[in-house]
Every structure is written in structure tokens, then in C-alpha cells.
Amino acid sequence: MTPEEDYAVSFMPAVHRIGRFTILVAFFLSIAPFIYLYFIKGYNDISIGMMLAGVAAVAPMLIGGWISEPLTYWPILGSAGIYMSYLAGNVMAMRFPVATAVQKHAEADISTPKGQVATIIGIATSIIINLIILLITVLVGQAILNMMPPRVLHAFNYCIVGMIGSMVLMRFAMGKGTMTQNFIDSVPYMLCGICAYLLVNFVVKGISSYGALIGVSAAVVIAYLKYKKALDAWNAANSD
């Protein structure tokens, strides 16, 4: 067989076979602590309702990414890159830029055998380097923290606030319009979160576990209505 035929007949089926197996193993390993604590150690005083409330709080925030991210990343990462990246993590921050740089250097995209293999090597290398740096940080990080003065350690309490602030500012800066216009466009969605917080904490306290679900669901409805309005306007403008 030619390299292209071997790539299609042998290589890609092996990629999917190994990738599905490793993702399946990772899935069971991720729920193994819950199974151990709940069924073996007997920490089963958490009701099914509380578990469903936790799922309901997280799922609306992530379900869009579950659907859109693989479709968005696949044209660059390819099948093998998707399996490896979602197993190792840091997809957008590390794997995606690495794949883009490797393909540019190799002058081949992911649809070619050369681009696919180059991407696999690049992502595998980034994972190894990532693990080495993480291992060093874990082993030495506590010793570094012990050397820091209390004022510096106290400043770490603002890390999450700073990260959220940077993400919000990035949203305003990277939109299609000016920063002011992007801020105005985001106000309805921010109001959804604020109203949901006030509702579950001060109006109907019995549904406090569903605050995120209510806020995200309201934001999705507003986004859909805005989309329909824009689509109707576009259809009306191009009907002639």
C-alpha cells in the first residue's frame, strides 16, 4: 500500500480504536472516587436530589462547550489530537496553539498524513513537557509557598477574582464592536446572573441549588431571541 492508503486503512482506524479506549478508561477513572466513597466507604447520606441539583447547576454552563468545542477544534487538532487533548487537558491554552504552530512549520494541514502525524508528535511533546513542569511545581511548590511572607500568600485570595475579571474584560475587548458596545451587548446576560442570584438567595431560598441553572437558562433564551431577531432582519433585508 502507498503511505496514503496505509494512513486511511490502518492508521486512522487504530487512532479511533485506541482513542475511544483511553477516553473510556478516563471516564471510569474520573467516577471511581465517587463510587469508592459512596458504595465502599459508605458516604451515602447525599440524596439523589442533591446530586441532580449539582448536575443541573453545572450542565447548563458546559453543555454548549460539550457540543461546540470538539467541532471547533477538530479542523486543527484532528481525530488523534482531539483524543489526546481532551485526555490531557489545556486544550485551548496549550494543545491548540501547539498544533497550529506545528502544522505551519510542517506546511501541512490536518487533512494530510504529514500534518496529522506532525500534530500528534507536537501534542505528545507538549503533554510530556506539561507533565514535567507540573511534577516539578507539585514537588517544589509547597516549599516555595512556605518561604513566602503572609502578605504574599494573602494576595492569592484575589487570584480567582482577577481571572474572572480578565475573562470579562477579554469578552468586552474581543467582540465585533467597540469595547463599549460589547459591554452594552453583554448587559442582558449579566442581568440574568444577577437576577438569578437575587431570586434564589432572597426571594425563593428553597431553590438556591438551581441558581446557575436559572441564570444560564435565561441567558440562553435571551440569546436565542436576539438571534431570531437578527435572522429575521437579515432575511427581510435580503428577501429581494
pLDDT tens per residue across span 102-123: 988 888 888 888 888 999 999 9
Evaluate whether 195 touches 222 at the Cβ level (below 8 Å): no
Please state at what angle helix 48-88 crosses helix 96-106, rounded to 10 degrees.
Answer: 20
pLDDT of residue 240: 60
pTM above 0.75, yes or no: no
The closest alpha carbon to 121, from 95, 159, 158, belongs to: 95
- Out of 146, 167, 182, pick the residue that ends a domain: 146
Same domain, 10 and 57: yes
Which of 99, 116, 146 is the C-terminal boundary of a domain?
Answer: 146
At residue 65, what is the residue type?
G
Whether 135 and 189 share a structural domain: no
**Pair 124, 215 in one domain:** no
Residues 21 and 96 in one domain: yes
In the chain, the number of structural domains is 2
Do 140 and 157 belong together in one domain? Answer: no
Q: Are 76 and 103 in contact (CB under 8 A)?
A: yes
The whole domain housing 43 covers: 3-146
- Which residue numbers in the chain have pLDDT < 50? none
What is the reported pLDDT for 120? 92
Position 206 scores a pLDDT of: 76
Q: Return the pLDDT at 174.
A: 65
113 Cβ contact partners less than 8 Å away, ≥ 6 residues apart: 3, 4, 7, 11
